[in-house]
């Protein structure tokens, strides 16, 4: 009975690229409005390249090409504090949703959407706040890029 169960022919619909693939990250795009998101898209590509390199799958001249896309970048306040008699967010949770698309000799397919979050504590100085928020956005983008690369490789 066990032999029959093991050889039933079941295969997952998509389980990554088989063998020892070499993948080239060709682009990272964003559907999020605003030119300020360009560094975030670059970080998405950096995260994917780093994860592919970690598993020996990054190749500059590879036939399999990975195109990355930032689908969504949301901000949600986390808690409220009263500062000088006015309500103010105590922090912000950034949520980034991204996906990847593979094209090459093995065919074309897209990864499922991946999601990462980061919490940023609010500060009163506007420049420090902008810097902290930007750093958090780049961090979630790098993490999302790594998650997309793992999806491409079929690594949970």
Q: Is the pLDDT of residue 1 over 70?
A: no
Topology of domain 22-153, per CATH?
A: Double Stranded RNA Binding Domain (3.30.160)
Q: Residue 11: what pLDDT?
A: 44
**Percentage of the chain with pLDDT > 70?**
82
- Listed by start position, the domains of the chain span 22-153
Question: How far, in Å, are 28, 36, 75, 100 from residue 39 at the CA level?
Answer: 10, 7, 17, 18
For residue 101, which of 50, 63, 149 has the smallest C-alpha distance?
A: 149
What average pLDDT does the segment 84-93 reach? 85
Q: Is the pLDDT of residue 112 over 50?
A: yes
pTM for the whole structure: 0.80
């Amino acid at each position: 009975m066990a032999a029959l169960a093991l050889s039933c022919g079941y295969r997952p619909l998509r389980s990554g690229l088989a063998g020892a693939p070499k993948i080239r990250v060709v682009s990272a795009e964003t559907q999020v409005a605003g030119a300020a998101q360009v560094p975030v898209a670059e970080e998405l590509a950096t995260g994917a390249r780093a994860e592919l390199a970690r598993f020996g799958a990054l190749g500059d001249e590879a036939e399999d090409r990975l195109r990355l896309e930032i689908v969504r970048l949301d901000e949600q306040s986390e808690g409220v504090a009263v500062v000088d008699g006015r309500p103010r967010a105590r922090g912000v949770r950034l949520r980034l949703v991204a996906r990847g698309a593979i094209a090459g000799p093995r065919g074309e397919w897209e990864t499922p959407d991946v999601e990462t979050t980061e919490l940023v504590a609010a500060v009163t100085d506007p420049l420090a706040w902008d810097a902290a928020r930007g750093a958090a956005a780049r961090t979630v983008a790098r993490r999302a890029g790594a998650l997309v690369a793992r999806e491409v490789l079929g690594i949970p």
